[in-house]
Amino acid sequence: MIEIQQLSKTFGDTSILRHISARFLGGRAYGIVGANGAGKSTLFRCIAGLESHQGEISSAHTPLKDHLGYLLAEQYFLPRITGQEYLTLLAEAREKRITDLLDRNIFDLPLHAYVSTYSTGMKKKLAILGILLQDNNYFILDEPYNGLDLQSSMMLTEIITRLKAMGKTILISSHIFSTLTETCDEMFLLQDGTFLKHMDQADFGRLEEELKENLLAKDLDKLFGN
Amino acid sequence: MNYYFALQYRIAKRSIEEVGVPFWVGMLVLIGLLIAGYFICQRFPDYADLLLLYTGTSFLLTQTGSQRIDFLKTTFPEKKFRKVRLCESLLYILPLVILAGLVGAWFALGILPIAAYLFAMNTLTFQTRRSFPTPFRKYPFEFIILFRKFFWLFVALYGLGAIGIYVDNFNLSIFAAAVIILVAVGDAYSVIEPEEILWSNSRSPDRFLGYKIGRGAIQLSGLILPLLTLMSFFFREQTPWIALCWIIGCLLLALMVVLKYKSYPKPIGLIEGFSFVICIFIPILVFALFPYYYSKAKKNIQIVYDRNTTA
């Protein structure tokens, strides 16, 4: 369980997050939706302890960051390391010994090649595999489907389902709405620095319609001058 | 943690071997540079502290990229993360601390470990939505990045130059100017743009290199001439030396541009880097090396053009 109370974040005079409160339970996946720049990544960075902030973030396992697998939208890789070395580094950092790395290479990545030679999708898969091998209790997946091929996307959806069954807490942001409706139990709409809406599965369809009407239609009207 | 440092060793080994020299040769070159540093500090003891502090801070800065810090922070547990950062920072400055001890640069000897500690402990990465203003904004991208990266260092060096003028110490002022030039020329072209950016320009290799060198020389002049002009006003009899400093800066910049595009899209190799360092001490060599590297750079740019055209 992760609990956020009155979380606020400002950059200079600009307020990005304003008094956000939420509780994310184990065994559930939560979708965070919002326009570009709404503050989704900033929220994730605050939870991961990468940003200073106001308000409280607590979790059942402490410190939270030592039990958190954080998939960044753009993952960083050390230069001149192979896929295998990257995975070993991540596992070793959490004192996990992986002896069957090749068997667990479910994405069939060329682990002996330099990561720099990987495609965008392969890098994403490697990063996902890395945080899975760490055996974390919490997962933040920032745009996990970006760059993935169809088969890997299906695999990721199955992985999220399995993680939920294992009691893990998962926060996901994605611009592909269908991936969220497939995987998430609840969804939060982040707008103007606050959670404007909080919906469970039954209301996902309504949320999509509202997003289309309120966000897209207005913008398209502006563009085409209707 | 041990695995991380073993990996760092492997990365260092690979990066040396990638430039086409065996690892042991690379290590010999590094030891040679340390010995050269020792003699430079012995020859100019007044500037030994500054030189060592600048070099040490530059080393430490290379390890503080926000993405890198975020990666380490999310990868390692909190305590381990701090240990990793502290160990790697201390390892980076260790040779310089030894050098400082050998040449008696006590100020640098005291400050460098403190700097390493502070760099290691300051783990907050900053995101800002406002862009830092730069006088080079119209002409991307080398000097824009450089100016934002080293703004405070340039302010400090300008301050040092002004102190030199105030206390009537020409050497101090010219040292400050030389460091600005070396930082600018050395760092501005370390950023390697994606091939698409090079490919998307419509200039021929000759015109592209001419444009890069010309634009770079103007921008370097914009950065350094205010200080040099002020110096030539207060140290009138030294004006020829001041002008020479500027000319050498432009020559080194021209060499750096062709070295970059000779190696592109890889970073500048060990041999090219060594050639550049030699030219800092014997600038006349630029005239011998420039035509060679110019033709290599021209051919390399053409290869990039062709590769992307046929892809």
Is A56:A129 a contact under the CB 8 Å cutoff? no
Residues of B in contact with A36 (CB under 8 A): none
Per-residue pLDDT of chain B (311 residues; tens, 9 = 90+): 788 889 988 988 888 887 778 888 888 888 888 898 888 888 888 878 888 888 888 888 878 778 888 888 888 888 888 899 999 999 989 999 999 999 888 888 898 998 888 888 865 554 555 566 777 766 667 888 888 888 888 898 899 899 999 999 898 899 899 989 998 998 888 888 877 777 767 788 899 999 899 989 999 999 999 999 999 999 989 999 999 999 999 999 999 999 999 988 888 887 888 888 889 888 999 999 999 999 999 999 888 887 655 44
pLDDT of residue B132: 67
Residues of B in contact with A93 (CB under 8 A): 4, 75-77, 80
Q: Which amino acid is at A58?
A: S
Residues of A in contact with B70 (CB under 8 A): 45, 50, 72, 76
Name the domain count of chain A.
1
ipTM, 2 decimals? 0.75
Give the nearest partner residue to B74 out of A12, A70, A74, using CB atoms: A70
pLDDT of residue B228: 94
Q: What is the CB neighbour count within 10 angstroms for residue B95?
A: 17
* DSSP state letter for B123: -
- Which CA distances in Å does A150 have to A121, A154, A155, A179, B7? 11, 6, 9, 12, 33
Question: Distance between CA atoms of B303 and B140, rounded to whole angstroms?
Answer: 23
Per-residue pLDDT of chain A (226 residues; tens, 9 = 90+): 999 999 999 887 888 999 999 999 999 999 999 888 888 999 999 999 888 889 999 999 888 888 999 998 888 888 888 899 899 888 888 888 888 888 889 999 999 898 988 998 999 999 999 999 998 999 999 999 988 989 999 999 999 999 999 999 999 998 888 889 999 999 999 988 899 889 888 888 888 787 777 666 667 777 777 6
- Which one, of B161, B124, B128, B153, lies nearest residue B58 by Cα? B153
Count of CA atoms in the C-beta half-sphere (13 A) of A111? 18
Range of the domain at A209: 2-76+137-224
pLDDT of residue B311: 43
- Separation in Å, CA of B191 to nearest CA in chain A: 15
Measured in degrees and rounded to the nearest 5, phi and psi for residue A52 equal -70, 150
Task: Categorise residue B31: left if φ over 0, alpha if ψ from -120 to 50, beta otherwise.
Answer: alpha
| A203 assigned to some structural domain | yes
B→A interface, C-beta within 8 Å? 3-4, 7, 10-11, 14-15, 18, 67-68, 70-71, 73-78, 80, 124-125, 127-130
Domain CATH code at residue A157: 3.40.50.300
Question: Distance between CA atoms of A35 and A211, rounded to whole angstroms?
Answer: 10
Question: Distance between CA atoms of A77 and B67, rounded to whole angstroms?
Answer: 9
